[in-house]
A and B are shown apart, each in its own frame.
Chain A
Amino acid sequence: MGKPVGMEVSIAISHAVRLANADVVAAYPITPQTHIVEHLAELVADGELDADYVSVESEHSAISCCVGSSAAGARTFTATSSQGLALMHEILFICPALRVPIVMVVANRALSGPISIWNDHSDIMAERDIGWVQTFAENGQEAVDLTLHAFRVAEDHRVLLPMIVNIDGFTLSHFIEPIELPDPKLVARYLPDYEPLMRLDPDKPISMGPVGIPEVYTEARKAMDNVLVNSKAVVLDAWQEFADVFGRTYKPIESYRAEGAETILVTMGAISETAMTTIDTLREAGRKVGLVRIRLWRPFPFEEIREALSGARTVAVVDRAMSLGGPGGPVCSEIRSAFYETSRRPHIFGYIAGLGGRDVTIETFTEIIDKAEAAAEKGTRNEYEMIGVREI
C-alpha cells in the first residue's frame, strides 16, 4: 500500500482517471468542477495520460462527444456541475438507453436561481431519473476509490450503463486531504481494459439509437429499469473486489453507532463526516442516537435501508435539495417509500438543510435530531421542514 499524500480532492480524482487509463476525456470547465478537468488536460498535455482530451464549447457537446467515444469503444470520462449538468440533461437519458459506460464525476452545486456556485444536491436531484448508476462520496479517498469503482461497474458486461460519482462541490472538491493513490499495478488488476460488447466500427456497421416506436418503447424502458436494478449485484461485487485488492471496504449504506439507537439521522455526501462527529458528541451525552449514510443512490438500496432503520423509533432524513411544491426532499421520499408497505415503521421526518452553500454544522444536526425527537414524542406529522430559515 502506498503512502497517503496531502492533495486537493479534484486533483486526486484526475489522478484516478489517469490510473484508470481513460482513452477520451471531453469536458467543459465549470465551478466547482474545473480543477478536475483542468488537471486532466495537463496530464494529457504532459504525456502522463495517453488520452484524447476534447475541448468542447458546452456541456451539451461534452456529453454528446462522450456518447460518441464510448460508443466507439473508448474508456470515456467527463465531469461537470450544476448548470453544466442541467445543460447535459437531454443527452443524459440517451446514455443508458445506448448502454454506453461513460463515467462522470459531478461536483454537486446548487442550481440557479438565484445564481449560486455553492454546494448542495439540487443539480443531481434534478437528474435523479436519468437511468445512470449513482454513488455519493464522503471524503477524498472515497472520491478516488469510487471513480475507479465506477469504471469497473459501468463497463461490466452485466451492466454497461453510465455511472456518476457525486462529490460535494468545494466542501469536498477543493479540500486538501490525505489521499493514497493506488498502485498502478493493482489498478490494472482491478480494472481490466474495456471490452465493449458492441461498438461503432466501420468494418462492421451497426446503428445505435434507432427510433422506439410504440411497439418497442415500453419494452425498451423495461429493459433499462431491469438492468439498472440488477446492477446493484455488480456494484456490490466490485466493492468486494475493491476490498480484496486495495483493502478498503464500501457498502451501499453505512451505519454509524446505530446499534440500539432510538433516533437515526440519515445523510448523504460529505456532510456525513460532520454528522458522525455529532453522533459521537450526543452519544457521549448519553443520547441513543445513530447515523446511516447513503453511498449508493441509484439503484436505491431499499432493502438495506429497511434493515438499517427498522429498529429505530425516529428517523430524521437530511436532504440537500428540495422538490418544490412536492414532498420535500428526494432522499426522504425514497425512505418513506421504502417503509410504506412495512407493518412496523419508524416516524420519518424530513429536513432540508445546507442549500446553496449554507454550512451544516454539529449544531444543525443537533437541532434536527431534537426536532425529530420532539415531533415523534408529540405524535405530530411533518411533511418536511427547512432548517435555518431566518424569519425575522
Chain B
Amino acid sequence: MARKIKEEALCPWKDLPLGCAITEPGSAKKFKTGDWRSQRPVIDYDKCIKCGLCYIYCPDMSIKMRGDGFFEVNLDYCKGCGMCAHECPKKAIEMVEEVEE
C-alpha cells in the first residue's frame, strides 16, 4: 500500500512566488515523488547483465550505475511505473507491492 499522501499546504499563500514561477534551476530535486509509488522495482543481481537498459528507459532518471557496474534505484524519486521491469531483457527486475511501514 502507498504511503499516505500529504494534503497539507507546502507554504502559506503569501509566500508563493509571483505567478508560482520557479526561479532557480534544479528545484525538481527537492520534490521527492517516491511516495506516489504503489510498487517498487527489485533488481535480482544474479540475473542482471549490466546492460543499462533500465537506466536508459527510466523516465525519472531514478536509476543510477554503481561503482561495480550494476544499477540501483533511487526510491526517493522512483514512482514505480515499472518501465524498467518491462524493458529488462533478462527479467531481472520484479515489481513488488509496497507495504505500509
Interface residues of A (CB under 8 A from B): 97-100, 160, 197-198, 205-210, 212-216, 218-220, 222-223, 226
Contacts and interface: CB of A to CB of B under 8 A. Distances in A.
B67 interface: no
Contact of A216 (B5, B16, B25): B16
Contacts, number: 57
Contacts of B16: 216, 219-220, 223
Contacts of A226: 13
Given A215-B7, A215-B10, A226-B13, A160 B18 contact: yes
Q: Sort A-B residue pairs by CB-CB distance and give the 3 closest, nearest first.
A: A219-B13, A99-B19, A207-B22
A222 B21 contact: no
B66 interface: no
Contact of A219 (B12, B21, B22): B12
B1 interface: no
Given A160-B19, A220-B16, A223-B16, 7 more contacts: A97-B19, A100-B19, A197-B18, A206-B21, A206-B22, A215-B8, A216-B16
A209 B20 CA distance: 7
Nearest to B15: A219
A248 to B, nearest CB: 32
Interface of B: 5-14, 16, 18-23, 25
A218 B19 contact: no
A208 B11 contact: no
Nearest to A214: B7
18 contacts: A97-B20, A160-B18, A160-B19, A197-B18, A205-B25, A206-B22, A207-B21, A207-B22, A209-B19, A209-B20, A210-B20, A210-B21, A213-B10, A214-B7, A215-B6, A218-B9, A222-B13, A226-B13
Interface centre among B6, B10, B20, B25 (most CB of A within 10 A): B20
B9 A215 contact: yes
A212 B13 CA distance: 12
A205 B23 CA distance: 7
B88 to A, nearest CB: 30
Contacts of B6: 215
Contact of B21 (A208, A215, A216, A223): A208
Contacts of A210: 20-22
Contacts of B20: 97, 209-210, 212, 216, 220
A295 B46 CA distance: 75
B34 to A, nearest CB: 14
A97 B6 CA distance: 24
A214 B11 CA distance: 12
A99 B14 CA distance: 15
Nearest to A211: B20
Contacts of B9: 215-216, 218-219
Contacts of A100: 19
Nearest to B33: A213
Nearest to A204: B23
A210 B22 CA distance: 7
A205 B24 CA distance: 8
Contact of A99 (B12, B18, B25): B18
B92 to A, nearest CB: 33
Contacts of A207: 21-22
B25 A208 contact: no
Nearest to B23: A206
A10 to B, nearest CB: 32
A183 to B, nearest CB: 34
Contacts of B18: 99, 160, 197-198
